[in-house]
Amino acid sequence: MTTPTTISLPSDQDASGRTFDDLEVELVREALASGVLTSTKGSFTRTLEERFAALLGVGHVSACASGSAAVHIAVAALDPEPGDEIVTTSITDMGALTPILYQGAIPVFADVDRASGNVTAATIGDVLSPRTTAIIVTHLFGNPCDMTAIMDLAGRRGIPVIEDCAQAYLATSRGRPVGTIGAVGCFSLQQGKHITTGEGGLVVTNDAALARRVRLLVNKAWPYGEANPDHEFIALNYRMSELQGAVAVGQLSKLTDVVDRRRRAAAELTGSIRGLQGITVPEALTGDEHSWWKYPLLVDGRVVDGGPQGLAGELRVGGIASAPRYIQKPAFRCRVFAEQNTFGSSHWPFTLARAEALDYGQERFPGTFAYLDQVLVLPWNERYTGEHTRYLSEAIAAAVEKRSFAR
Ligand SMILES: Cc1ncc(COP(=O)(O)O)c(C=O)c1O
């Protein structure tokens, strides 16, 4: 018997799976040669904002320091009162959650759909209260939430929706790019995202008044270019630098191709592993388009011995680094929430919350626990070729066969 050859997959953590080339080098050289590295005076960050606005068909874009900064800016732009509730998801990055606390608001966790890991209108509806002032949705792994139903619910209650699109560049919901459907959309340019500047973020909106607040929140609340400027309210320096702006201008020109390639590779893998016993392939809702930040499988532990962990162990032997559970526990089980570690020993703003808003009992989150128990996240990349997707599908099929209880 011959030992199967292990091939290494392109990774977004190094040059094998990133798209930097002479274009970014030239743009950074230009930025340096200009001698202007602050976006308050340079032109690269502004160009990035204009081009991203044109690509998404959205009225206003502000670049910022990170995806976490983008969410913080979005929350602060809506200006909640201390103790107001912001409904969010139990499965997301912490950068989408701590900004709520920094603004003195209370994150209220909605459960997720056990098939997609996304919040739904039903799970959000279950936790709305008279104190809800915003809803934040995360389009998990690039799969759009059901925005039609969510916007319908939010619209009826007059509650603005923030879309966290850190993982979902160019994903569409019923033909509309995510980020442009709610009041504000947030994107990340962190190392492992579809396009990157190492760290960085983007905030988008069609609302001119919100756009002004967003710009202020990037700039210590200083209204550059306006008459009689003053620092209008509490705000940080969340600016992107021109070095990042230059890289981002280059990266943005590649985004459509990056997403197309990820879609083609995902369709290939889905075509070859759909129907494997105990495996459920990821799918967008009808009429929506996934943009494949990652490829999350569901593994049924009643069919595949060891469930996602068992399958991950088999894949590791072939050099495939997958992530069972994605995040190890629901966000509300992290210490910041469980111990209410915030400002000094105050526990503020949790001290302002209704007891029900802080009820993190397991029975309230059946979808969350079911999803985390079943999900196995495969790394994904625009550089995957047919050889890579075949390697993945053969490794998954062999692992399922080996671990199947039905053998
Ligand atoms: C869904 C989601 N929201 C927010 C963030 C925060 O972005 P950043 O790491 O750029 O601060 C991330 C990124 O890791 C993310 O995946």
Ligand 1 atom at minimum distance from 139 CA: 1
- pLDDT, mean of residues 298-314: 97
Q: Which among 190, 191, 244 is the best mutation to test ligand 1's pocket, defined by most ligand atoms within 8 Å of the CB?
A: 190
CA distances from 237 to 64, 91, 350 (A): 9, 28, 26
CA of 67 to the centre of ligand 1 (A): 5
**Pick from 125, 80, 130, 126: nearest CA to 106:** 80
How is residue 331 written in tokens? 């966000």
**Pick from 274, 271, 276: nearest CA to 303:** 276
- pLDDT tens across 344-388, in order? 999 999 999 999 999 999 999 999 999 999 999 999 999 999 999
Please say if the pLDDT value at position 4 is more than 70: no
Q: Which phi and psi angles does 237 have, rounded to 5°?
A: -90, 105
**Pick from 15, 28, 71, 61: nearest CA to 241:** 28
Return the axis-axis angle of helices 255-273 and 386-403, rounded to nearest 10°.
30
Q: Which residues pair with 123 in a beta bridge?
A: none
CA of 362 to the centre of ligand 1 (A): 25
Question: Which residue ranges have their beta carbon within 6 Å of ligand 1?
Answer: 66-68, 71, 92-93, 95-96, 138, 164, 166-167, 188, 190, 201
CB of 96 within 8 A of CB of 166? yes
- pLDDT, mean of residues 107-124: 98
B/e letters for 45-66, b = 16+ CB within 10 Å, e = fewer, are bbbbbebbbebbebebbbbbbb
CB of 63 within 8 A of CB of 45? yes
pLDDT for residue 1: 46
Q: What is the pLDDT of the chain when averaged over all its residues?
A: 97
Instruction: Classify strands 279-280 and 294-299 as parallel, antiparallel or unpaired.
Output: antiparallel
Q: Which among 73, 167, 191 is the best mutation to test ligand 1's pocket, defined by most ligand atoms within 8 Å of the CB?
A: 167
How is residue 60 written in tokens? 């206003």
**Pick from 40, 39, 5: nearest CA to 248:** 39
CA of 189 to the centre of ligand 1 (A): 9
- Rounded Cα–Cα distance for residues 222 and 213 (Å): 10
**Pick from 386, 383, 366: nearest CA to 374:** 366
- pLDDT tens across 352-364, in order? 999 999 999 999 9
CB of 122 within 8 A of CB of 102? no
How is residue 363 written in tokens? 């029975």
Q: Which phi and psi angles does 188 have, rounded to 5°?
A: -120, 145
- pLDDT, mean of residues 248-271: 98
- pLDDT, mean of residues 263-287: 97
Mention every residue, 6+ apart, whose C-beta is less than 8 A from residue 317. none
Please say if the pLDDT value at position 226 is more than 50: yes
Share of residues in the chain with pLDDT > 90 (%): 98
Tokens 């129907």 label which residue?
Answer: 275
Local confidence band at 407 (pLDDT 50, 70, 90 cut-offs):
low
- pLDDT tens across 167-184, in order? 999 999 999 999 999 999
- pLDDT, mean of residues 312-327: 95
The protein residue whose alpha carbon is closest to atom 14 in ligand 1 is 93
CA of 182 to the centre of ligand 1 (A): 18
pLDDT for residue 317: 95
- pLDDT, mean of residues 9-31: 97
- Rounded Cα–Cα distance for residues 19 and 21 (Å): 6
Tokens 């732009």 label which residue?
Answer: 77
- Rounded Cα–Cα distance for residues 71 and 166 (Å): 10
Say if pTM beats, i.e. exceeds, 0.75.
Answer: yes
Residue 259 sits at the vertex; the CA angle it makes with 8 and 153, to the nearest 5 degrees, is 125
Tokens 């209008």 label which residue?
Answer: 232
**Pick from 132, 135, 128: nearest CA to 83:** 132
CA distances from 21 to 15, 28, 254 (A): 10, 11, 11
Q: Which among 66, 165, 188 is the best mutation to test ligand 1's pocket, defined by most ligand atoms within 8 Å of the CB?
A: 188
Please say if the pLDDT value at position 2 is more than 60: no
Residue 155: Cβ-neighbour burial (10 angstroms; 0-12, 13-18, 19+): exposed
CA of 167 to the centre of ligand 1 (A): 8
Ligand 1 atom at minimum distance from 92 CA: 1
- Report the 10 Å Cβ neighbour count for 272: 17
- pLDDT tens across 127-163, in order? 999 999 999 999 999 999 999 999 999 999 999 999 9
- pLDDT, mean of residues 222-229: 96
Please say if the pLDDT value at position 105 is more than 90: yes
Torsion angle of C-alpha atoms 44, 47, 49, 51, degrees rounded to 10: -140
- pLDDT, mean of residues 40-56: 98
